[in-house]
Structure 1
Amino acid sequence: MSADNRRERATEIRTAAETEPGTVDIDILTDLLIAPTKGVRRIAFDACQSLVSAQPAAVDDIVTQLETHLVNGSAKVRRRAALTTGVLVEEYPESIDRLAPPLRSIGNDPAEPGREAAIVALSKLAFERPAAVAPEVDTLLSICLDPVSVSPAIQAEHEGPYAESEEEMALRPERERRDQIRLYALAALTQIATDEPAALRMSTSLVAPLLEDDNNLIRAGACELLEPLASTYPSSVESFAPELAERAASDTKHPVPWRAADALVALDEKRPKQVGDAVAPFASDFSRFLESRDSGRRRTGIALLTDAAIVRPESIEPMLPTLRDLLGDDDSFVRTNATIVLGAAGDETDRSAIADLAETDPDGCVRETAARVLEQFVHPREDE
């Protein structure tokens, strides 16, 4: 059938779906949904929406036909079926649930033309129905770990910040497209980690290479993925603390430092000592957090430095002037933690400022903390 004939047929079916839905042939409609031409598929999708609106059960029949195409179709048909599934999942996620296994089979095969389309469809399904995609997390991780790149030998021949081989230039569009797919998959994995964290518990170690990826958005996405896992399964994430601390302190590409710090804060709830040990070597580099106009970033920075001060107070000494300034911060959380840090790492000159907070700060939590710090950290020093 020619493209014109398919378009004409799709238009006829759309009209029938709007006026006489009972006459629509599901097999023909599904074939048009995976037609080679985007325009035909778009018309067929309109027909599908009209038909399902009139006959909701029809979507299950369409999904059954799509499943057959995903499993038994040619490579080109499987690709188009995966593309169509990615469109339909946004409208009918509950019905698309059962297509996760055949999408996984396509997504696992690097030789499949429809691999990326299948990954996108699985990712979209994860946003809507994370439990349905939980068994497929290794498929999503596999694409994240598979960037498009040239051989190491060619990279070595073209070293330097502005050097790019002809092969690298030729691969750039493919690499950028793949990176978009990887980001999609990472976002889906983060959704699964939030709703179904057990699905990723045994695969957490696979995230490690992503923290060193060339793409800063991939590095940031890896940090976001670790954040919910740190809250639920801290033992699976604590080994990442040193790398996360280094990223938070020294990665120059937005938004990596902020996402890495967020993951550390999540880990801090259950593993404060490990976080403190990881942050301490980089403590002076956390000034970017403390000096931020964003109170959320100041909160994050002071929370992490509190852990470092308790574990290794000497690591905080270069930050003492900044920390003293934070005793007057507008945010009570920042003032509270600055008090704790100075109690652990400050000197006699900080006693009067802490005592003043204990008496005059408008926030009760700050006053209570300052009083406790005077008792627990300052007074014992008189006996040393």
Structure 2
Amino acid sequence: MNQMARLTSSPGKCCFKASLDREATFCDECGSPIQRCMATDECGGLLDAAGCCPVCVAPELSLDAGSASSIKVGGSLALPLLVSNNSPVGRPLFVEELWIKGDDSEPRQVDLTFQRLNSESTAEVGLRTGVFETAGLHRFDVHIVVATRYLWREERYVFTTAIAIPVDPEGPSEIVQNYNIQADEIGAGMTIYNPTRIQKEREAGIATHAEPIRLTMRRADTLERSLGHRGYTGNLAVTKYTDLIWQGFDPGHAPLDGPIRTQTGVLGLGRASNAPEGGMNDVRLLITHDGEIDEEASVHISRRHFHLFIENDRLLLRVESQNGLLLNDTPWRRGKMIALKDGDVIRPLVSRPNAIALKVLFETQHDEVDRIILKRLVDFAGDRP
């Protein structure tokens, strides 16, 4: 099990210093594994314990209190929401979805007029609450789905926050309501949004709420999986710290067992020699018999045939060969990306599918894949007649 090798907290200054060595995989000072952001060449960031780069992924939600008005039973409210990208290094953020959920209502997706949000920029969104049927404190949850991209890769995350809105009863006379609220009653990070008080203070010239009210957000890993943005169906996840175990390879043709440790977080597999030998690959794919290379058969494997990497808590394959490959019995052409699952068989040669194969086996603990065995098979017929 590789739990001991995983980060227990965010990387420290010593980890960033160690990461300046492009070959470093562990911090010499604290011993933590170094997991670089996929865009580390642009951001210089390292992943935190949850597998997120806080330099690239820095969304902020705020309520623009200046446009608030009082709300009574029978009325509705448009919450003026500001969405900001606080990345300090110029990395854009892509807002994919925004959802709002009332007390007992179903989540409702909000129409967005934008997607790309450049660093240090802000966009406005109006969240309409619907009609308030009763007086009291009404809770709304807001979920935002954001993505960070680099070349052909993308990581998605879901953040959530909660807003409580006091709604006054109907009637000609003003009623002052006092709310005695315990933190465990409303949930950590909830913002109490009192539009009546804000409007009165604004009319009185009080500038207390002239600035936006920043909302406290947290990662919503359960939503990330249930909405299908991260992990597999069935609540199964492959983290950046999952061990890859290489079986059936000739000596020197596969990396050491363990998490992906390359600078980019991507493994290249193909006929060409490996990087330590001055080549372009991390895993060498050749057809061999008793240690002897079958040159005539191996020449049909492309120099770089495909990539393997972990994205959105899934093990992905990207086809690089002009001739494509087979996953099980399904052909995939160059540039296609496929999420690999337990039991899949990668067949690099479409014209000779039994010549060489790579079988993928997941070993799981609870809802995480603890180890992935990648077994090289030569002259593999599998389930074929």
Instruction: Tell whether the structures are fold-level matches, with TM greater than 0.5.
Output: no
Q: Report TM bin, short chain.
A: under 0.3
Instruction: Give the TM-score of the pair, scaled to structure 2.
Output: 0.21
Greater helix content: 1
Q: Quick check: which has more Rg, 1 or 2? A: 1
Greater strand content: 2
The higher relative CO (CA closer than 8 Å, separation ≥ 6) is in: 2
Instruction: Give the TM-score of the pair, scaled to structure 1.
Output: 0.21
